[in-house]
Amino acid sequence: MVKFFRYICCLLPVGRFQIFTLTMIDLVTNTISLNRGDSHDENRQGESFAPFAIVPNQYQKLFYIESYGCAMNFADSEVVASILNKEGFGATRNVEEADLIFINTCSIREKAELTVRKRLTEFRSLKKKKKGMLVGVLGCMAERLKSKFLEEEKLVDLVVGPDAYRSLPGLISEADGGQKGVNVLLSRDETYGDISPVRLNSNGVSAFVSIMRGCNNMCSFCVVPFTRGRERSRSAVSIIDECKDLFEKGYREVTLLGQNVDSYYYSEDKIQSTVDGQQSTAHTITFANLLESVALISPLLRVRFSTSHPKDITDDVLHTIVKYENICNYIHLPVQSGSTRILQLMNRTYTREWYMGKVDRIRQIIPDCGISADIITGFCTEDENDQLDTLAIMEYAKYDYAYMYFYSERPGTLAQRRYKDDVPEEIKKRRLHEVVQMQNKLSLESNLRDMGKTFKILIEGDSKKSDQDWVGRSSHGKVFVFPKENYNLNKGDYVMVKANDCTQGTLLGSIVNSPQTTDHSN
Ligand code: SF4
């Protein structure tokens, strides 16, 4: 009865390239998501790097990196690959031929950590066989456990936190000399802004671009502020340059990533010529400004972003979405609970009514906006009335998708220190099941409302089931599958598709115009 579906990051939904409908609840990871490949993309958990295009023989050593968790972690693996590549290491997908094995970990749920422990056990025999092989643990679990990791897992040589990847080459050479290394220093300014990530198993159409790191919110259930540190924004120039570069390389969609993108804020000095010479003035860039700058790169480049904290998303952002056709009409707006009492315990800093007002505002400014949410059931002290409030707010918001899970206490969080995890697991699961049922209904209703309508779809590649069909996505984030017919289209092209049929997770359609008449413009 238990099927692993996908794993959710607290609030960083952005994985992709999968189509599924919900059939079962994952009772192991306490997680459910519906309809689209966001948040912790289950298809990508444990994904390893594809080798670089350059001839691998030129590399002295090969690294293998396996990634878990949210989109931010996968983006970080791309940064790590870039750092290692500069030092002359090549990537391999074959763990047996690797000289360095890295596992980029997630700490958000206990199950995620158990998966990493199990993988480490599997690496033990490889390490015995290959003299000099190093094993490194990266990411949130490294940050949470620090040097304790070296004590607990004897085969581990390196423990490196999310802000310390620049120190990897030095730590590797020390470990080559027999000295195990730990660097879990969190930084107030590291953004890896100057590092051009090596794209990890990309479809060549869509890419993640990290715009900020860390989080200053202290949601009581969340481990992120402790594992990823204080919030800091990356230089706007480096973000825009990275997006331009992606566009020039043929990418047609970027997702701007951060734990809380709406609080993006970057101040840079501008040098101006004056009568007396030159003068430096501070120029501040908000998230709305950044969105606009990225949208202006080309109308052919779609822009998405994730994640928005309901308290931080502004009217400026909403109006910017409306102003540019290529900024997708889709907002991930985690609610977590529909009960004001529980929201207060979660330290979410908004009430049920306030959240509903935010949904109203989005619908008022962007009438056809797709909205999704994260929902936790069974948080400390939650009762049946709180659960009814959650179900009711889902109906009110009419979410197109949701990432749902039952509460799992994490060491070191505010909730662990302040509250008792007092809702029995079977009740958490039953409530999760109710929430899932509600979302199934809402997702299907949402898709049924789209029947007969025509959407501009960005083609992402062949459908999983048939190379005679394309899979692509609409602006509001829905997955479309449609026959290629005789059109001479390629992935990365836009095409108008009419929705004819649907499941809960996918719209089935047909092309309504030829590529020659495809609207590539605003
Ligand atoms: Fe998201 Fe809150 Fe965690 Fe920050 S503290 S990452 S806003 S859940």
164-196 per-position pLDDT tens digit: 999 999 999 999 998 999 999 999 889 999 998
CA–centroid distance, 9 to ligand 1, in Å, is 9
Ligand 1 atom nearest 222 alpha carbon: 3
The phi and psi torsions of 48 (rounded to 5 degrees) equal -110, 165
Which residue owns the Cα nearest ligand 1 atom 1?
11
Taking 3-state DSSP, the helix, strand and coil percentages for the chain, each rounded to the nearest 5, stand at: 35, 25, 45
pLDDT score recorded for residue 514: 52
pLDDT score recorded for residue 272: 65
Look-up of token digits 């970080």: 76
Which of the four pLDDT bands, split at 50, 70 and 90, describes residue 50? low
Ligand 1 atom nearest 260 alpha carbon: 7
Which of the four pLDDT bands, split at 50, 70 and 90, describes residue 257? very high
State what percent of residues in the chain have pLDDT above 90.
71
125-170 per-position pLDDT tens digit: 999 888 899 999 999 999 999 888 888 888 999 999 999 999 999 9
77-121 per-position pLDDT tens digit: 999 999 999 988 988 888 998 999 999 998 887 888 888 999 999
pLDDT at 39 over 70: no
Strands 507-511 vs 494-502: parallel, antiparallel or unpaired: antiparallel
Is residue 140 within 6 Å of ligand 1 at its C-beta? no
Is residue 225 within 6 Å of ligand 1 at its C-beta? yes
- Other beta carbons within 10 Å of 490: 12
pLDDT score recorded for residue 476: 93
Is residue 447 within 6 Å of ligand 1 at its C-beta? no
pLDDT at 516 over 60: no
Ligand 1 atom nearest 223 alpha carbon: 3
Average pLDDT over residues 36-40: 43
pLDDT score recorded for residue 376: 96
pLDDT score recorded for residue 111: 80
CB 253 within 8 A of CB 205: yes
Q: How far apart are CA 254 and CA 256, in angstroms?
A: 6
Best mutation site among 260, 308, 311 for ligand 1, i.e. most ligand atoms within 8 A of its Cβ? 260
